[in-house]
């Protein structure tokens, strides 16, 4: 007999203490040199949920580190250009914790630097569409000078076999939004590590949107380095048949009175659709007055999918304002479908309604109206995509 229960929903949330990982997150080995890492086996903490056999070229092979075609929309106050490896900003936001990232770091010829200055609001879109299908390593710097403000949209389309590092540096009181949009071709493989360092009273909004590509792994790692700094990390992913979409989020509260919010939402549809979300939050000894919350929600639309969702919370100081996490994976089930259909709504429209509603919480927070509209359209296309199969 149909009941009101939400079938198949697993939920847990708590107010304060989470799982304690074996090793403190900040103690992980780091190096910019690929030779310092042993060959990847797939048993490493960072790799254990990834299909490592499908991209040994990126973890173990030689990479093309040359410059590639980039297009960017012109904007006063934002410069986009190539800089040499000895640029003083390189290495200031973080360093690789795994072999693919280190391989990229060891390989790139020049780094793409996006430098933001000026207090007025502005937006730039940087597009990569011609990376080709040979294995590649790349490095990007996004440097928001003190008191500057901007929205930086990184758009990724076309073919790619790419491993890369993106350093995001926020000076004092900077206010930066970074959107990284993965709309790769079907066969693309993309492994990205974003390292952000946020200065005093600065605010980063970081949004990962992964829709297209075969294997897309974008791991943002954010250090709240200055007192009063703030990070809002958002993510939206839609995996369809055979796609692997992964994100390992790490927030390191390393200064007093810092604040973080992590919200990732994903939909899965089609056989073999696979998503991974790992959210590590570390509240360090210096981080008195921290306010932190992370959550991940997945919506399962069909059978044959798998969503991993693993929140971790480590607290090294007692003096915090709040810390919590939540993770839930729910199914769009037959009873929900029946309810909507019983109100005259067709099955197709019902699915659209639910997914659009579920993901729009993230889309609405992007803060660029044209991009929000485009993403809504992309989500609709994702929904139609599997229907046609």
Per CB under 8 A, residues contacting another protein are 1-4, 6, 299, 330, 334-336, 338-347, 349, 353-361
CB of 166 or CB of 211, closer to another protein = 211
The residues facing 161 across adjacent strands are: 135, 189
CB of 78 or CB of 383, closer to another protein = 383
CB of 315 or CB of 363, closer to another protein = 363
Question: What length is written for the chain?
Answer: 389
Smallest distance from another protein to CB 303, Å: 16
CA neighbor of 319 nearest in space, from 345, 282, 287: 287
Contact status, residue 177 vs residue 119, Cβ threshold 8 Å: no
Smallest distance from another protein to CB 324, Å: 18
Smallest distance from another protein to CB 341, Å: 4
CA distance 361 to 158: 27
CA neighbor of 275 nearest in space, from 27, 51, 30: 51
CB of 179 or CB of 354, closer to another protein = 354
Smallest distance from another protein to CB 267, Å: 10
Contact status, residue 247 vs residue 222, Cβ threshold 8 Å: no
CB of 231 or CB of 340, closer to another protein = 340
CB of 4 or CB of 369, closer to another protein = 4
Strands of the 149-158 sheet, one edge to the other: 10-14, 322-331, 291-300, 259-269, 230-240, 203-212, 175-184, 149-158, 123-128, 71-72
Smallest distance from another protein to CB 332, Å: 8
Q: Please give the backbone phi and psi of residue 128, each rounded to the nearest 5 degrees, phi first.
A: -120, 120
Smallest distance from another protein to CB 381, Å: 18
Smallest distance from another protein to CB 379, Å: 12
CB of 317 or CB of 376, closer to another protein = 376
Q: Compute CA distances 278 → 102, 289, 311, whole Å.
A: 20, 24, 6
* Degrees to nearest 5, angle at CA 369 with 368 and 373: 120
CA distance 142 to 176: 10
CA neighbor of 299 nearest in space, from 80, 41, 9, 60: 9
Contact status, residue 107 vs residue 137, Cβ threshold 8 Å: yes
Strands of the 306-315 sheet, one edge to the other: 78-84, 110-116, 135-144, 161-170, 189-198, 215-224, 244-253, 274-283, 306-315
Smallest distance from another protein to CB 154, Å: 27
CB of 4 or CB of 76, closer to another protein = 4
CB of 251 or CB of 340, closer to another protein = 340
Smallest distance from another protein to CB 3, Å: 5
């Amino acid at each position: 007999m149909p009941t009101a229960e939400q079938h198949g929903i697993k939920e847990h949330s708590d107010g304060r203490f989470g799982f304690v990982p074996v090793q403190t997150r900040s103690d992980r080995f780091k190096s910019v040199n690929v030779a310092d890492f042993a060959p990847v086996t797939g048993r490493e903490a960072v790799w254990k949920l990834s299909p490592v056999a499908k991209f040994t070229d990126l973890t173990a092979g030689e990479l093309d580190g040359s410059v590639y075609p980039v297009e960017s929309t012109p904007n006063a106050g934002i410069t986009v250009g190539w800089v040499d490896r000895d640029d003083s900003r390189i290495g200031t936001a973080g360093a690789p914790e795994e072999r693919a990232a280190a391989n990229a770091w060891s390989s790139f010829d020049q780094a793409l630097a996006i430098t933001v200055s000026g207090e007025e609001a502005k937006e730039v879109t940087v597009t990569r569409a011609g990376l080709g299908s040979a294995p590649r390593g790349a490095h990007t710097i996004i440097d928001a000078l003190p008191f500057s403000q901007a929205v930086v949209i990184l758009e990724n389309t076309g073919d790619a076999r790419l491993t890369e590092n993106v350093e995001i540096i926020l000076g004092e009181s900077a206010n930066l939004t970074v959107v990284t949009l993965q709309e790769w071709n079907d066969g693309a493989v993309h492994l990205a590590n974003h390292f952000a360092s946020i200065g005093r009273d600065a605010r980063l909004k970081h949004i990962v949107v992964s829709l297209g590509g075969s294997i897309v792994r974008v791991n943002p790692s954010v250090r709240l380095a200055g007192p009063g700094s703030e990070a809002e990390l958002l993510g939206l992913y839609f995996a369809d048949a055979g796609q692997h979409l992964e994100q390992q989020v790490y927030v390191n509260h390393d200064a007093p009175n810092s604040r973080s919010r992590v919200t990732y939402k994903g939909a899965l549809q089609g056989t073999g659709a696979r998503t991974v979300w790992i959210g590590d939050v570390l509240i360090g000894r210096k981080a008195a007055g921290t306010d932190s919350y992370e959550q991940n929600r997945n919506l399962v639309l069909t059978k044959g999918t798998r969503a991993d969702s693993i929140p971790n919370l480590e607290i090294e100081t007692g003096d915090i304002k709040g810390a919590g996490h939540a993770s839930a994976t729910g199914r769009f089930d037959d009873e929900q479908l029946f309810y909507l259909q019983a109100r005259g709504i067709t099955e197709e429209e019902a699915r659209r309604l639910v997914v659009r509603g579920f993901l729009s919480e993230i889309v609405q927070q992007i803060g660029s109206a044209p991009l929000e509209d485009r993403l809504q359209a992309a989500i609709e296309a994702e929904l139609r995509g599997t229907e046609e199969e």
